[in-house]
Amino acid sequence: MLKTEGTEHKKPGMLALAWNRLGLYFRPITLVPGVLTASFIYAVMSLFRQRPMVGALVLYMAHRLHFAYAHHPQLYRALHRSLFNMAKHIPAIGELLEDQLGPIIKGLEDDNFAPLEEGNFRFLTLPEQGISEERILAELDAIAEIAGGENARQKLSGAIYTGKTDFHSEINKRLLGINVMHKHLWPRLVDAENQSVAMCLKLYNAPAEAWGKTTAGGSLSIYEALSAYANQAKASFNTAPHIVLSDRAHSSFKKAAKQLGMSYTEVPVNPLTYQVDLKKMRAAIQPSTVLLVASAPAFPEGIMDDIEAVSTMALEQGIGCHMDACLGGGLLPFAQKVGLDLPACSFELPGVTSISADLHKFFEAPKGHSLVMFRDEELAAHGIYTDLQSKMGMYGTAGIEGSRPPRVAGWAVLLSMGVEGYAENLRGMMEIKNTIVRAIEGNEIPGLVICGKPLLPIFALKSIDPDLDIFLVASHMKSEYGWSLHALPEPAVHLCVTPRHLLTPGTADIFLKNLEASVAYAKENKGLEPAASLKMYDTFKHEVPDAVADPVLQDVGEAYFLIEGSAERRRTDRKMKRA
């Protein structure tokens, strides 16, 4: 599948590769005058003439500080965070933060967490006597139902991608209690997982030496990919591997990099196309860079990066290129089948060295199914762990996971859908997306525009009318009509059309009718505040200085998840931590 016409790219020769890499080592020196002020340079040179040794030392330290800033921005983030934590101990600053952030955290709690009290089938201590299974199952039916019922399921952005719940249930019933770490007990289940990987490798034009593995989700697929690159780098004496990614790339890359001891540089997108800025990406490459990241597509605006250009850049530098298709993985291979003209986005590009793709999104597998694919076994082997001399017996895993259930539901769903099933889904979703996009681009709802040129059924819209608050529009879409649109910080809102939207006839027309009414409501009620989770973006944009935005956001995020992760949920009176 995914065959495209494109320019043939050959791997550069050893001399060309060495020249490209050598240039990276000298580039930071040429950047120093851009960071140091002219007066500082003059003072250092004067000192150098009077006391050469001291001047040389100052000049060297200035260069190393700049080099650290350019190559290890996480060090500066850590310093920034430490200074912020110290500042919070100053009473005036601490009280100011409490006044500003306390209402935001309280609003987030009110928006997202219903009041929960002990009783009403809630237990904060283990009951003395067991409860009947029938009663527990009855309560579970109620707990698992989404607010708003089936109607709400049809108006989600992403989240639930499939209606194959009966099929999934039948599959899972047959797999309960199985731990595929004991491969010798269930060899055919292991083979079924391997078949699902093999099918996807072929969908993505992988070479014969390619290898892949299933994971529990996209974040873990990304972690496994970065783990392989980090271990490969360290085996080559690169103790501080670095990656370059777009500021639209999934946050899991930064999370994995932090956990794996990798540094990263985020580069902005082109403000018109929303694709990663290629010039800035090239400028961010360092001697320790091991990987460039390209999204296919990126979550926020649903825009695909120029995978061919990014992978060619990686090829020229002799480094890896990871194509993240966690969101679009179940769409890209079937685009040609429905007449979509997508740019090259598979292993047919020689610079693409790994790909992540979720089976539990558009492939319609149940949650907990993803995979990561590597161009060759040599790279993949760096993500495998073995301890064959363990006192517990020979131990080894293909990745970070140990005991786990089999991921055979992905195999089963792939077989049940086939190419035609996925193509039919994509055709229907594109009809919904195209109807909505044409209406907005045709100015049928004045004040709104589509962000960039999304090629897949994932898109974002924003307001170009200063009197139209897009977050108030989204709030009204939710409260009045049940649409759950995903808020973006710039500001905009995102809709991911899924196979579930195909279950309701006229979804696009219903959406447009509700959107038009919500725009009218927002204009009539200018100044009305949106839901707290949406208002937060506006607060940080206009009320929090950029200099402290990062640590302040971290505080809010920590408070939110401490509330979410507490069964008692008595956190709103808690003072913000001052350490």
Predicted confidence (pLDDT) at residue 9 exceeds the cutoff of 90: no
Q: Are 435 and 442 in contact (CB under 8 A)?
A: no
Distances (CA, A) of 155 to 129, 141, 146, 478: 41, 21, 12, 9
For 23-37, 50-64, 177-191, which range has the lowest pLDDT when averaged over its residues?
A: 23-37
Predicted confidence (pLDDT) at residue 513 exceeds the cutoff of 50: yes
Distances (CA, A) of 272 to 269, 441, 450, 453: 8, 15, 11, 9
Write out the residue limits of the CATH 3.40.640.10 domain(s) in the chain: 173-414
Give the 3-state secondary structure of residue 457: coil
The answer regarding whether domain 173-414 maps to CATH 3.30.420.40 reads no
Is the model more confident about 53 or about 387?
Answer: 387
Residues 6+ apart with CB under 8 A from 101: 552, 555, 556, 559, 576
Residues 6+ apart with CB under 8 A from 319: 285, 289, 290, 291, 292
Percent of the chain at pLDDT > 90 equals 56
For 2-16, 41-55, 308-322, which range has the lowest pLDDT when averaged over its residues?
A: 2-16
**What mean pLDDT comes out for the span 189-201?**
95
Sorting pLDDT into bands at 50, 70 and 90, what band is 564?
low
Of the CA atoms within 13 Å of residue 192, those in its CB half-sphere come to: 18
Q: Are 473 and 493 in contact (CB under 8 A)?
A: yes
Is the model more confident about 162 or about 265?
Answer: 265
Q: Round to whole Å and give the CA distance between 194 and 410.
A: 11
Sorting pLDDT into bands at 50, 70 and 90, what band is 389?
confident
Q: Which amino acid is at 518?
A: S
Predicted confidence (pLDDT) at residue 542 exceeds the cutoff of 70: no
Q: Round to whole Å and give the CA distance between 377 and 389.
A: 23
Sorting pLDDT into bands at 50, 70 and 90, what band is 110?
low
For 272-286, 404-418, 518-532, which range has the lowest pLDDT when averaged over its residues?
A: 518-532
Chain centroid to Cα 579, Å, comes to: 29
**What mean pLDDT comes out for the span 365-380?**
96
Q: Which residues pair with 496 in a beta bridge?
A: 458
Sorting pLDDT into bands at 50, 70 and 90, what band is 183?
confident
Sorting pLDDT into bands at 50, 70 and 90, what band is 109?
low
**What mean pLDDT comes out for the span 567-574?**
51
Number of H-type helices and E-type strands within the chain: 19, 13
Q: To the nearest whole number, what is the mean pLDDT of the chain?
A: 83
Distances (CA, A) of 258 to 77, 196, 224, 262: 12, 30, 13, 6
Sorting pLDDT into bands at 50, 70 and 90, what band is 369?
very high
Quick: pLDDT tens for 206-236: 999 999 999 999 999 999 999 999 999 999 9
Q: Which two tokens stand for residue 284?
A: 């961010």
Is the model more confident about 391 or about 199?
Answer: 199
Is the model more confident about 227 or about 27?
Answer: 227
Which pLDDT belongs to residue 118? 52
Which pLDDT belongs to residue 574? 46
Which pLDDT belongs to residue 162? 86
Sorting pLDDT into bands at 50, 70 and 90, what band is 53?
confident
Predicted confidence (pLDDT) at residue 153 exceeds the cutoff of 90: no
Of the CA atoms within 13 Å of residue 346, those in its CB half-sphere come to: 25
Quick: pLDDT tens for 60-76: 676 666 555 555 555 65
Q: Which amino acid is at 112?
A: N
Sorting pLDDT into bands at 50, 70 and 90, what band is 545?
low
The b-or-e profile of 549-574 (16+ CB within 10 A means b, else e) is eebbeebbeebbeebeeeeebebeee
**What mean pLDDT comes out for the span 506-528?**
94
Predicted confidence (pLDDT) at residue 556 exceeds the cutoff of 90: no
The b-or-e profile of 332-359 (16+ CB within 10 A means b, else e) is bbbbeebeeebbbbbbbbbbbbbbbbbb
How far apart are the two ends of the chain, measured CA to CA in Å? 54
Q: Which residues pair with 323 in a beta bridge?
A: 294, 355
Which pLDDT belongs to residue 30? 42
**What mean pLDDT comes out for the span 170-191?**
90
Cα angle vertex 545, ends 91, 63, to 5°? Answer: 100
Sorting pLDDT into bands at 50, 70 and 90, what band is 122?
confident
Q: State the DSSP string of 286-344.
A: -TTEEEEEEESS-TTT-PPP-HHHHHHHHHHHT-EEEEEETTTTTTGGGTGGGT--PPP
Predicted confidence (pLDDT) at residue 116 exceeds the cutoff of 80: no
Predicted confidence (pLDDT) at residue 44 exceeds the cutoff of 80: no
Q: Round to whole Å and give the CA distance between 517 and 383.
A: 51
Which pLDDT belongs to residue 520? 96
Q: Round to whole Å and give the CA distance between 551 and 293.
A: 25
Q: Round to whole Å and give the CA distance between 60 and 45.
A: 12
Determine how β-strand 242-246 pairs with β-strand 263-267. Answer: parallel
Furthest CA-CA distance within the chain? 88
The CA R_g of the chain, rounded to the nearest whole Å, is: 26
Which pLDDT belongs to residue 388? 87
Nearest to 359 by CA among 197, 179, 539: 197
Predicted confidence (pLDDT) at residue 244 exceeds the cutoff of 90: yes
Predicted confidence (pLDDT) at residue 31 exceeds the cutoff of 90: no
Q: Are 304 and 456 in contact (CB under 8 A)?
A: yes
Quick: pLDDT tens for 273-320: 999 999 999 999 999 999 999 999 999 999 999 999 999 999 999 999
Quick: pLDDT tens for 438-492: 999 999 999 999 999 999 999 999 999 999 999 999 999 999 999 999 999 889 9
Q: Are 473 and 519 in contact (CB under 8 A)?
A: yes
Predicted confidence (pLDDT) at residue 39 exceeds the cutoff of 90: no
**What mean pLDDT comes out for the span 103-122?**
63
Residues 6+ apart with CB under 8 A from 5: none
Is the model more confident about 41 or about 330?
Answer: 330
Q: Are 222 and 264 in contact (CB under 8 A)?
A: no
Cα angle vertex 229, ends 224, 230, to 5°? Answer: 95
Q: Round to whole Å and give the CA distance between 562 and 549.
A: 20
Which pLDDT belongs to residue 32? 43
Which pLDDT belongs to residue 6? 47
Give, as one character, the DSSP assignment of residue 240: S
